[in-house]
């Protein structure tokens, strides 16, 4: 650690680690639309209707299962939708209809869905639903982003020759580490009162490595909290024979929390970024 300069190390942090699958999971999009494709095509018969409310009523009476498509047309992932206005408040169930057809007609009218179909604002509900699903899936980027750094680190662990569930393990709790290898981790579990989970654990003949990973593309209070907690964790693990804490982090978000990160950098021997991974730090450290 003494041989590394913090400012130089921080300057190598990345803007993003988005891979090709980060933006939209089209497999999921197409699967979700396919599951209601028949019902959407039935609803397509309402497009351009000159008597849409009557046609809707007849359609729902004959094919009540088509109601399950309605929430998606409003970009809602739920079988129930609540709505209130001067005429009252209602909770509409679209999987198990709980209101009259007249009330569902009111819903379609007031949400603008009748207008969407009657006036040819859309020409095909399958295509429209695919677009809505694509938009909804973009909300999943945060979750996918949270796993990007884990996936990246895991790829470098594998490239270094470690084998999953043999020499490296994913998402292990302190008690699992203790049970498997008999190492006393009470120093980092508050004498067994807290249950810490590591993103990865690598086992070599001489050492157990507990690994945490994260990437921060933007700043926030979370970063300061992370830096402080990992500084504490590093100091606690220094007292444990046969166990080493390793932290892989990156992201330009750290620029706003550089002082807290530097404090951790100064006391923690094994904190690395993506550039370190690319330069073979895993092979160098995990022995």
pLDDT tens figures, 61-85: 999 999 999 999 999 999 999 999 9
Q: What is the rounded (10 degree) CA torsion for 60, 61, 66, 72? A: 40
Of residues 45 and 141, which shows the higher confidence score? 45
**Domains, the chain, ranges and CATH?**
6-20+141-285 (3.40.1350), 26-138 (no CATH)
Q: Report pLDDT digits (tens) over 130-142.
A: 999 999 998 877 7
CA dist., res. 57 & res. 108, Å (int): 11
Instruction: Name beta bridge partners: 243.
Output: 208
Predicted confidence (pLDDT) at residue 29 exceeds the cutoff of 90? yes
Q: What is the pLDDT of residues 160-209, one digit of tens each?
A: 999 999 999 999 999 999 999 999 998 886 655 568 899 999 999 999 99
Cα separation, 40 vs 38, whole angstroms: 5
């Amino acid at each position: 650690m003494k041989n590394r300069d913090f400012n130089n190390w921080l300057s190598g942090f990345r803007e993003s680690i988005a891979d090709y699958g980060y933006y939209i999971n089209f497999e999921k999009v197409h699967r979700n639309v396919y599951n209601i494709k028949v019902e959407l095509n039935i609803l397509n018969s309402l497009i351009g209707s000159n008597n849409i409310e009557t046609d809707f009523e007849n359609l729902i009476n004959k094919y009540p299962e088509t109601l399950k498509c309605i929430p998606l047309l409003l970009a809602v992932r739920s079988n129930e939708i609540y709505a209130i206005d001067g005429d009252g408040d209602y909770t509409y169930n679209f999987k198990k209809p709980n209101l009259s057809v007249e009330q569902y007609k009111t819903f379609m009218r007031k949400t603008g869905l009748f207008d969407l179909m009657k006036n040819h604002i859309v020409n095909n509900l399958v295509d429209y639903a695919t677009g809505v699903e694509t938009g909804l899936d973009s909300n999943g980027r945060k979750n996918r982003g949270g796993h990007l750094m884990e996936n990246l680190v895991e790829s470098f662990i594998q490239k270094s020759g470690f084998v999953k569930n043999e020499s490296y393990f994913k998402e292990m709790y302190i008690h699992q580490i203790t049970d498997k290898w008999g190492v006393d981790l009470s120093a980092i579990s508050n004498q067994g009162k807290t249950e810490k989970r590591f993103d990865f654990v690598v086992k070599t003949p001489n050492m157990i490595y507990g690994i945490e990973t994260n990437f921060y593309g933007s700043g926030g209070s979370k970063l300061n909290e992370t830096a402080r907690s990992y500084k504490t964790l590093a100091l606690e693990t220094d007292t444990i024979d046969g166990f080493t804490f390793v932290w892989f982090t990156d992201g330009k978000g750290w620029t706003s929390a550089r002082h807290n990160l530097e404090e951790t950098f100064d006391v923690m021997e094994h904190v690395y970024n993506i550039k370190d991974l690319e330069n073979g730090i895993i092979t160098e450290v995990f022995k």
